[in-house]
Amino acid sequence: MLMKRALAVSVVAAVVGTSAAGAASAATPAKSAASALQVQEATFAVNGTAVPFRVVRSNGETLVSIRDLGTAVGAQISVHNGVTTVELNGHKVEVKLNAKQLVADGTTVSLAQAVRSVNGASYIALRPLVAGLGGTVAVYGGQINVSTVKLLEGAENPRFAGPSSLIVSVTGDDGRTDYLVDAKSGKYEQLLHSTNASDLVVAPNGAKAAYTDSDGAVYVLDLATKVSSKISSDNNIKPELVWSADSSSIFFLQGDKGSVIAKLDPASGTITKLLDDKVDYKANLSVSPDGTKFIYTVTTLGKVTSDATNVDEDNVSIDFSANQQQIFSFDSTVAEGKPVQLTTSTDDKLFVASDDGVKAYYVSVPSEDQPAKALVVGQDQKTSTVYGDSDVIETVLAGGKLYVLASVNDANNGIYEIDLASGSKKQLYTVSAEVSSIAASGSQVAIVKNDQLFVNDGGVWKPITK
C-alpha cells in the first residue's frame, strides 16, 4: 500500500512539475520489455469523463500515450513516413519519434524532451499536445482535467435543467438562441432560436421546457429531441409560466397586465381560470406542490394628482410615492376565498418565491442606505429574517433550500445554503466579489462571474462558458 502511494505521488509530482500541474492516480506499474522505462496508468478527466491513460516517466517528466489521448478526445490519428498526425476540430499536430519538437497548425513547438517509444507506443508531454489541439489542461478537485471543448461565448440567464446541464441564452441582432450546456464538460447544443419567444421555463423533471410567443401561444420543447410542440393557441398574453411540481400542468398569469391566474393542461389544451379578481400587475407567481395555493406580488402604480384627465399633457402630476409592490397569497380550495395580502411595507421586494404556496421568501431592499436582507413572511403577515448577516445580492429557491449570494467584503461574496425545514444555515463557498449571480439545482450551484458561467468541481470553480 505504501509503495503504491509512493508511486502515485511520483507520477503526480512529475505531471505537476512539467506537462500538466495537477494530480493523477497511478495503478500497478509494468516493466517494459523494450525499455527501462516503466509504463504506468494514470486517470485524467477528459471533457468531464474519467479516462485511464498509459504514461511513462522519463527524466523526471511524465509522458502520455499519444494514441490514448487522441482516442479519448475523439481525434483522428494517422501515421505516414514516421510522422504521427493528430487532427481535432480543425487543428493538426504532427509528431515524429525521437524529435524534441512538434508542429501544431504549421508552427514548431519545442519539447522538454524527445517523443519516446515504449512497447510500440509513442509518448509525449501532455500539455503541448493538448494545446496544439486547441485544448487546455487544468486541475480541478485534485485531478488533471483535459478539455478540448469549444466553450460557448456570451451566455446569459443560466438555469438548471436537471443536475447535469443548464440552459443559457445568447442574444444577437437576429434574435435569441437558447443552448443546453453540459455542467461537467461545457459541451453545448442548440435548443431554440427565436425572435419572439419568452424565456424557456424548465419543468421540474428536467425533460422539457415551456415558452410562449408574442401572440400568447404556448409551446413545450422536448430537451432530448429538441422538438417544440404547440399546446395552446389561446391568444391572451401570458407574461409568466410556472410548471406544476409533477411537470404535468402549466400555471400562468394571463393578460398584458397579468390580471388572471390560470392553469393549462398540456395534453388537452384546456385552460382553467383560478383567480380573476380584476387586480392588475400580478407577478412572481409561485405554486404549491399540489397546485392549489399561490404566492404572487401585486404592483400599484403612481397616482395622478392633478385635475387633468389627459396624462399625455405636460402639466399632469403623478405621485410616484404610491408605487408599491406587495406580496399576496391565494388558496383556490377555499370556497369564495379571496387573496390575502401578506405585506404592507414600502421596501423593494426582490426574488420573491415560495415552495409551499403559503410562505414567501424575498429580498427586502430598504429605501434607506441599509443592507438588503432575506426575509420570510407567512399567513399571519409577520416577517422574520432568514439571512441578514451581510448585504444580500440574490436568492434562489431550489429543492427545499434557499441559496443566498451576499457581499462579505469589498473583495469577496459568500454563497450560503439555508434549509427551509430546519432553518439551519451554512456557508458553502467564498467567491470573488465579481460574482454577480447564482443558479442552483439540489446541491449543485453555478455562478456567473464577469459574464462567464462556472460550476463547482471538488471545491474549484470550473468554467463551462467563456
pLDDT digits (tens, 9 = 90+) for 326-380: 999 999 999 999 999 999 999 999 999 999 999 999 999 987 789 999 999 999 9
Paired residues of 194 in beta bridges: 176
- 62 in a domain, yes or no? yes
- Which pLDDT belongs to residue 317? 62
- Which pLDDT belongs to residue 307? 56
Tell me: pLDDT of 1 over 60: no
Mean pLDDT, rounded, of the chain: 89
Q: What digits encode the pLDDT tens for the residues 25-79?
A: 434 444 443 457 889 999 999 998 999 999 999 988 889 999 999 999 999 999 9
Q: Is 396 helix (H, G, I), strand (E, B) or coil?
A: strand
Rounded CA separation 145/140 (Å): 7
Average pLDDT over residues 158-176: 95
Rounded CA separation 143/43 (Å): 8
Average pLDDT over residues 274-303: 94
- Measured CA to CA in angstroms, residue 203 lies from 42, 290, 380, 387, 446 at distances of 40, 15, 31, 28, 18
Confidence of residue 318 (pLDDT cuts 50, 70, 90): low
- Which pLDDT belongs to residue 353? 98
- Measured CA to CA in angstroms, residue 68 lies from 71, 76, 101, 159, 175 at distances of 5, 12, 19, 35, 42
- 369 in a domain, yes or no? no
Q: Tell me which residue range forms the domain holding 35.
A: 2-147
- Which pLDDT belongs to residue 282? 97
- 212 in a domain, yes or no? no
Of 292-306, 357-371, 421-435, the poorest mean pLDDT is in: 292-306
- 210 in a domain, yes or no? no
- 321 in a domain, yes or no? no
- Which pLDDT belongs to residue 369? 82
- Which pLDDT belongs to residue 459? 80
Of 22-31, 182-191, 237-246, 308-317, the poorest mean pLDDT is in: 22-31
- 89 in a domain, yes or no? yes
- Which pLDDT belongs to residue 2? 34
- Which pLDDT belongs to residue 305? 63
- Which pLDDT belongs to residue 292? 98
Containing 181, the helix (H) or strand (E) segment is strand 175-182
Which spans in 51-188 are helix H?
A: 66-73, 126-132
- 88 in a domain, yes or no? yes
**Sign of the torsion angle spanned by Cα atoms 111, 117, 123, 129:** positive
- Which pLDDT belongs to residue 13? 37
- Which pLDDT belongs to residue 3? 33
Q: CATH number, domain at 133?
A: 3.30.457.10
Specify the number of domains making up the chain.
1
Question: How far does Cα 70 stand from its chain's mean position?
Answer: 29
Q: Name the nearest CA neighbour of 12 among 48, 51, 42, 45.
A: 42
Rounded CA separation 289/239 (Å): 21
Percent of the chain clearing pLDDT 90 (strictly above)? 80
361-368: long-range contacts (C-beta < 8 A, 24 or more apart)? 361/386, 361/395, 361/397, 361/402, 361/420, 362/327, 362/395, 363/392, 363/394, 363/395
- 326 in a domain, yes or no? no
